[in-house]
């Protein structure tokens, strides 16, 4: 038995990430084509939306009923209908094995087969080719997996969360400061971008007729996002200049005050709706490919930034600021630029968020948003782009998967995160990267 | 603004300042001793209010049932003592669960567990006790004194007076007792303290006990003045008190007091002049400006190793 496990394990070590993504693409394609056909005989009403997490939770709820669902076993027992209760309990119990079977058939088997088969081919590809293959396969997998509106929405939020988390990681992880401004940055980005798009391309009660033909909107949307990000970075500069004179927790407090001020400011600006919120953002522009491209671009730029001279300067500042000064690192410049870059991408994420939802409200961007991003970052791990991405994906899937719990979700999620943090105080993947995010070591060509 | 109007605002500002100062002390003590932001403190304040509600309710029921008749002042004092005890246990539990295991981890991880335990307390409360707002029983008869055209209630006098007295007692406790000395030692040089035979764990617990008791008193007083309780009452007031603690200077009890009253005055006097929706905006902007010029707050010192507790 042990030898068998070892053998299986040795089969699956050293498979490049491209192969896994290709496998996922194939699995998602099979699901799209034959998901209903397979789900039916397994006793599932529909294709599991999030890898069956919701089915499993629903089955638990059907049996145990925490006062969340109607028609659970306990409800029937109370009413004295034993036959019904047994029926519901059996149905609930069966949901778990059938979901697992579905996952095995549709995800586990195809992913592992395809990954195993394509791994040797991909390893032989040159770096550039395999990178572009990864991007194409990733986009294909995402597009294939996005079966319906719900899954696409989940994907939107996953991508936006990845941008937010990676950008916070620049400051909190690589630079070793403690910023709590994610919510504030998001708010500035979201509002500025929304003002530009609504003022420019939409007939709005406040902003009047569109200044530019709405047909241009989709093409100028990236410019609006960039302007939103730049304005966010400029406001970050206002915070950064006083706060980087000193070390320690000063930035935490200043950024906290910044978040409160921004929220309060937008609540008082009647032009953008004040506390009622700001709507009419066109939601068709922030489509899956657009958000995908922005996320990949952001992650790519930030991942490259941390290995530039400036980005390495940030890491040195974290480890020992005095030593950095001695080694002629301009610490103030490094800090301000890193902080502004982080703010820029948080702002872009805010702009995307506004155009995904089509409505923003100052209270969306309070301290809770910052706490969410912080939870994603510290669960995933500091100083690691891969860690941030994993953290964002896990947190989002957790949030969505636990949705059937209703208000109980907000008790279960904190408990999960607390246990997680106590078990792994440094996060899942900290101070290292995996897959293609790992810095390639360029070997000098062998001399003859 | 007329003079009587000014005094009316002045008394309100003192009252709000007392709430902020009492809560800010909890933040600043934990920061001074353990160097971490206790982001669950606002929710400890909320827990204190609810514990106060139940203790007061039970005492009133016992008294009214004729089991042990008690005078109103006795009920008030017993409520305060019982609430302090109960809230201290909550504070100790928070420290035990969320902060102690992470003492050697990155401090931000502890911040995340703190935030999450706060969220857990809010939702747990919502789930256990329901979403409806609860009314705090009035423990003492409100009498109104007229002093030169300004009406002052006895509850306001009690709130401000008792708060100031308690803060002074706490100050003495930290300054004059062995426990206080141990706390200051921990703020001064963390690794050396266990070498002197002082248990870090018990000092950390004691810090949380003191901070949570202050939050409990703030909770009871807050509910005496504004007798409506809801699970999310701790968030806003907690963050504001946190900011007050920072403005006063991290780790300084006098600073926390000062910051609390300063915030109270800003918050009461800004709406007197400008529309009240601008209250938070102006308050935080003033605080941002203060911090720009005094990055360590009014009573804080540049190096966190030298805390004035």
Task: Grade residue B89 by pLDDT with cuts at 50, 70 and 90.
Answer: very high
- Residue pair B119/B127 in contact (Cβ under 8 Å)? The answer is no
Neighbours of B65 (CB within 10 A): 9
Tell me the shortest Cα–Cα distance from B150 to chain A, in angstroms. 33
Neighbours of A307 (CB within 10 A): 11
Residue whose tokens read 């789930």 = B127
**pLDDT(A252) > 50:** yes
Mind spelling out the 3-state secondary structure of B239-302? HHHHHHHHHHCCCCHHHHHHHHHHHHHHHHHHHHHCCHHHHHHHHHHHHHHHHHHCCCCCCCCC
Tokens of A326: 């001695």
Interface test with B, best of A236, A257, A408 (most B CBs within 10 A): A257
User: Residue B258's pLDDT is what?
Assistant: 92
| CA atoms within 13 A of residue A237's CA, in its CB half-sphere | 9
Which of A334, A348, A281, A271 shows the shortest CA–CA distance to A306?
A: A334
User: Chain B residues within 8 A (CB-CB) of chain A?
Assistant: 37, 97-98, 101-102, 104-109, 111-113, 115-117, 119-120, 122-124, 126-127, 235, 239, 242-243, 246, 250, 277-278, 280-281, 284-285, 287-288, 291-292, 295-296, 302, 304
User: Residue A301's pLDDT is what?
Assistant: 94
**pLDDT(B308) > 50:** no
User: Residue B307's pLDDT is what?
Assistant: 39
* Facing B304 at nearest CB: one of A248, A265, A421: A248
Return the CATH number of B3-293, one of 2.40.30, 1.10.1060, 1.10.3470, 1.20.272.
Answer: 1.10.3470
Cα(A289)–Cα(A295) distance, integer angstroms: 10
Contact A374 B281 (CB under 8 A): no
pLDDT in tens, B169-187: 998 998 899 998 888 888 8
Cα(B30)–Cα(B36) distance, integer angstroms: 7
Please, what CATH class does the domain formed by A148-437 belong to? mainly alpha
Tell me the shortest Cα–Cα distance from B235 to chain A, in angstroms. 10
Q: Which residues of B touch A265 (CB under 8 A)?
A: 281
Sign of CA dihedral B231, B232, B236, B242: positive
Per-residue pLDDT averaged across B2-23, rounded? 88
Contact B288 A264 (CB under 8 A): no
Per-residue pLDDT averaged across B137-142, rounded? 80
Angle at which helices A149-169 and A331-357 cross, to 10°: 170
| Domain range list for chain A | 11-142, 148-437
pLDDT in tens, B17-37: 999 999 999 998 888 888 888
Across-strand partners of B276?
A: none
DSSP 8-state secondary structure symbol assigned to residue B144: E
CA dihedral B100, B106, B112, B113 (to 10 degrees): -20
The complex scores an ipTM of 0.87
Across-strand partners of A88?
A: none
Residue whose tokens read 């800010």 = B24
Lowest model confidence (mean pLDDT) among A190-199, A366-375, B289-298: B289-298
* Facing B277 at nearest CB: one of A172, A267, A378: A267
User: Residue B297's pLDDT is what?
Assistant: 79
**pLDDT(A103) > 70:** yes
Alpha carbon B128 to chain centroid distance? Answer: 24
- Residue pair B261/B21 in contact (Cβ under 8 Å)? The answer is yes
Contact B291 A257 (CB under 8 A): yes
Lowest model confidence (mean pLDDT) among A231-245, A337-351, B135-149: B135-149
Alpha carbon A170 to chain centroid distance? Answer: 15
Cα(A80)–Cα(A75) distance, integer angstroms: 9
pLDDT top residue among A368 and A432: A368
Cα(A140)–Cα(A342) distance, integer angstroms: 28
Cα(A285)–Cα(A224) distance, integer angstroms: 12
Cα(A192)–Cα(A229) distance, integer angstroms: 8
Q: Which residues of A touch B239 (CB under 8 A)?
A: 256, 260, 367
Which of A403, A347, A417, A410 shows the shortest CA–CA distance to A375?
A: A417
Buried b (16+ CB within 10 A) or exposed e, A210-237: beeeeeebeebbbebbebbbbbbbebbe
User: Residue B108's pLDDT is what?
Assistant: 80
DSSP 8-state secondary structure symbol assigned to residue A440: P
Tokens of B238: 């907690």
- Residue pair A141/A107 in contact (Cβ under 8 Å)? The answer is no
Task: Grade residue A235 by pLDDT with cuts at 50, 70 and 90.
Answer: very high
Contact A253 B246 (CB under 8 A): yes
Task: Grade residue B140 by pLDDT with cuts at 50, 70 and 90.
Answer: confident
| Domain range list for chain B | 3-293
**pLDDT(B306) > 50:** no
Cα(B25)–Cα(A70) distance, integer angstroms: 46
First to last CA, chain B: 39
Tokens of A88: 């519901």
**pLDDT(A444) > 70:** no
Contact B281 A371 (CB under 8 A): no
Across-strand partners of B147?
A: B150
Tokens of A286: 């922030």
Neighbours of A371 (CB within 10 A): 21
**pLDDT(B143) > 70:** yes
Q: Is A185 helix (H, G, I), strand (E, B) or coil?
A: helix
**pLDDT(A234) > 90:** yes
- Residue pair B70/B81 in contact (Cβ under 8 Å)? The answer is no
Per-residue pLDDT averaged across A185-213, rounded? 87
* Facing A178 at nearest CB: one of B97, B108, B277: B108
Task: Grade residue A344 by pLDDT with cuts at 50, 70 and 90.
Answer: very high
* Facing A246 at nearest CB: one of B98, B277, B295: B295
Per-residue pLDDT averaged across A179-187, rounded? 92
Q: Which residues of B touch A415 (CB under 8 A)?
A: 120
Neighbours of A38 (CB within 10 A): 17
The per-residue pLDDT of chain A, averaged, comes to: 85
Q: Which residues of A touch B280 (CB under 8 A)?
A: 260, 264
Task: Grade residue A435 by pLDDT with cuts at 50, 70 and 90.
Answer: low
Tell me the shortest Cα–Cα distance from B204 to chain A, in angstroms. 18
**A326-330: Cβ within 8 A, 24+ apart:** none
Which of B93, B121, B100, B117 shows the shortest CA–CA distance to B36?
A: B100
Cα(B126)–Cα(B233) distance, integer angstroms: 12
User: Residue A247's pLDDT is what?
Assistant: 63
Interface test with B, best of A249, A375, A419 (most B CBs within 10 A): A249
Cα(A276)–Cα(A206) distance, integer angstroms: 14
pLDDT in tens, A386-403: 899 999 999 998 888 888
* Facing B112 at nearest CB: one of A252, A254, A421: A421
Q: Which residues of A touch B286 (CB under 8 A)?
A: none
Range list of H helices, chain B: 3-34, 41-64, 72-94, 107-129, 154-176, 178-188, 200-225, 233-248, 253-273, 279-293
pLDDT top residue among A387 and A12: A387
pLDDT in tens, A17-60: 888 888 999 998 888 888 888 887 877 777 777 777 777 777 77
In angstroms, how far apart are the furthest CA atoms of chain A? 87
Q: Which chain B residue is nearest to residue A412, measuring alpha carbons? A: B120
- Residue pair A61/A53 in contact (Cβ under 8 Å)? The answer is no
Cα(A158)–Cα(A152) distance, integer angstroms: 10
- Residue pair A43/A94 in contact (Cβ under 8 Å)? The answer is yes
Task: Grade residue A65 by pLDDT with cuts at 50, 70 and 90.
Answer: low
């Amino acid at each position: 038995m042990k030898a068998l496990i070892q053998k299986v394990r040795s089969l699956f070590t050293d498979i490049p990430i491209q192969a896994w993504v290709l496998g996922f693409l194939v699995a998602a394609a099979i699901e799209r084509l034959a998901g209903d056909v397979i789900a039916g005989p397994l006793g599932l009403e529909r294709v599991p939306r999030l890898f069956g997490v919701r089915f499993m939770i629903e089955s638990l709820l059907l049996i145990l009923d925490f006062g969340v669902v109607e028609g659970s076993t306990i409800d029937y027992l109370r009413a004295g209908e034993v036959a019904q209760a047994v029926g519901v309990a059996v149905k609930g119990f069966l949901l778990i094995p059938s979901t697992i079977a579905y996952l095995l058939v549709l995800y586990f088997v195809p992913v592992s087969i395809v990954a195993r088969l394509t791994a040797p081919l991909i390893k032989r590809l040159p770096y550039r080719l395999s990178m572009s293959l990864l991007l194409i396969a990733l986009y294909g997998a995402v597009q294939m997996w996005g079966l319906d509106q719900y899954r696409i929405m989940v994907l939107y939020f996953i991508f936006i969360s990845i941008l937010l988390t990676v950008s916070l990681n620049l400051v909190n992880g690589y630079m070793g400061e403690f910023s709590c401004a994610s919510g504030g940055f998001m708010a500035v980005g979201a509002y500025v971008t929304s003002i530009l798009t609504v003022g420019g391309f939409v007939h709005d009660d406040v902003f009047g007729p569109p200044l530019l033909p709405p047909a241009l909107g989709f093409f100028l949307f990236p410019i609006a996002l960039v302007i939103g990000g730049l304005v966010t970075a400029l406001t970050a500069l206002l915070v950064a200049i006083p706060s980087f004179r000193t070390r320690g927790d000063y930035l935490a407090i200043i950024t906290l005050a910044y978040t409160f001020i921004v929220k309060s400011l937008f609540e008082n600006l009647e032009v953008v709706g004040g506390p009622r919120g700001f709507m009419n953002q066109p939601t068709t522009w922030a489509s899956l490919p657009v958000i995908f491209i922005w996320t990949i671009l952001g992650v790519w730029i930030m991942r490259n930034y941390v290995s530039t001279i400036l980005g390495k300067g940030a890491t040195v500042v974290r480890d020992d600021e005095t030593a950095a000064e001695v080694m002629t690192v301009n610490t103030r410049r490094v800090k301000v630029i890193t902080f502004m870059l982080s703010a820029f991408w948080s702002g872009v994420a805010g702009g995307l968020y506004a155009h995904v939802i089509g409505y923003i409200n100052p209270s969306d961007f309070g301290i809770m948003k910052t706490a969410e991003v912080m939870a994603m970052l510290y669960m995933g791990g500091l100083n690691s782009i891969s860690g941030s991405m994993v953290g964002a994906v896990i947190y989002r899937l957790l949030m969505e998967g636990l949705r059937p719990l209703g208000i109980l979700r907000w008790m279960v999620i904190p408990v999960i995160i607390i246990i997680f943090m106590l078990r792994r105080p440094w996060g899942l993947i900290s101070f290292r990267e995996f897959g293609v995010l790992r810095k390639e070591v360029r070997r000098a060509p062998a001399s003859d | 603004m007329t003079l009587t109007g000014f005094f009316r605002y002045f008394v309100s500002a003192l009252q709000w300042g007392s709430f902020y100062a009492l809560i800010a002390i909890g933040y600043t003590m934990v920061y001074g001793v353990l160097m971490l932001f206790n982001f669950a403190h606002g929710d400890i304040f909320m827990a204190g209010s609810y514990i106060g509600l139940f203790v007061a309710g039970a005492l009133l029921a016992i008294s009214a049932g004729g089991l042990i008749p008690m005078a109103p002042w006795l009920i008030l004092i017993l409520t305060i003592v019982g609430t302090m005890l109960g809230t201290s246990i909550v504070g100790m539990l928070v420290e035990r669960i969320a902060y102690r295991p992470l003492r050697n981890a990155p401090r931000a991880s502890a911040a995340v567990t703190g935030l999450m335990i706060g969220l857990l307390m809010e939702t747990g409360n919502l789930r256990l006790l329901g979403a409806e707002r609860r009314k705090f029983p009035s423990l003492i008869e409100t009498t109104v004194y007229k002093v030169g055209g300004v009406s002052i209630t006895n509850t306001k006098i009690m709130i401000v007076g008792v708060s100031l007295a308690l803060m002074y007692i706490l100050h003495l406790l930290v300054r004059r007792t062995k426990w206080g000395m141990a706390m200051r030692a921990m703020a001064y040089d963390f690794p050396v303290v266990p070498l002197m035979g002082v248990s870090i764990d018990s000092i950390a617990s004691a810090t949380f006990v003191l901070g949570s008791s202050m939050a409990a008193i703030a909770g009871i007083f807050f509910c005496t003045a504004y007798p409506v309780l809801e699970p999310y009452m701790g968030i806003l007031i907690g963050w504001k008190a946190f900011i007050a603690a920072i403005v006063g200077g991290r780790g300084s009890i006098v600073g926390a007091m000062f910051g609390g009253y300063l915030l109270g005055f800003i918050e009461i006097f800004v709406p007197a002049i400008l529309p009240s929706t601008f209250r938070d905006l102006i308050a935080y902007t003033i605080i941002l400006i203060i911090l720009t010029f005094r990055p360590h707050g009014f009573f804080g010192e540049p190096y966190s190793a030298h805390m004035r507790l």
